[in-house]
Amino acid sequence: MTAPTGETLDQVFETIAKRHREFIDGKVGNSRTAKLFKRGSAKIAQKLGEEAVETVIEAIKGRKGHLIEESADLLYFLLVTWKDQGIKPEDVWKELKKRHNLPEAKERAGRLE
């Protein structure tokens, strides 16, 4: 079995976006995501911060399994935060490529000049 890639994050983001649309349309369900959107931006940001701290704690303790679990939670809440703030994953991927001098970003930059 191969490890998931950024595609997995994109799929999770699409599910989050669907829940957000349902929230906007007044169809708030019982999902964790829908409940987060109902509670608002401050609560979403708070949850992101809590998960970040929990991830750091597990890294310090060196508990790999727990670190993986907390990392998954952190990524989920980061994606919810992006959706809440109107950020698309591809915007972040583009920034990462630019910052890390990845060849694909250099090619596009050259074509734009």
Structure-block tokens of residue 6: 């950024």
CB distance 81 to 45 below 8 Å: yes
- According to CATH, what is the number of the domain 11-87? 1.10.287.1080
Q: Provide the residue type at 68 as one letter.
A: I
Residue 12 CA to residue 38 CA, distance in Å, equals 19
pLDDT score recorded for residue 101:
84
CB distance 19 to 29 below 8 Å: yes
- Domain boundary assignment for the chain: 11-87
pLDDT score recorded for residue 1:
45
Predicted confidence band of residue 93 (pLDDT cuts 50, 70, 90):
confident
Tens of pLDDT, residues 1-55: 455 567 899 999 999 999 999 888 888 777 889 989 999 999 999 999 999 999 9
Residue 34 CA to residue 21 CA, distance in Å, equals 9
CB distance 41 to 25 below 8 Å: no
Angle in degrees, 0-180, between the axes of helices 6-24 and 32-39, rounded to the nearest 10: 60
Residue 40 makes CB contacts below 8 A (sequence gap 6+) with none
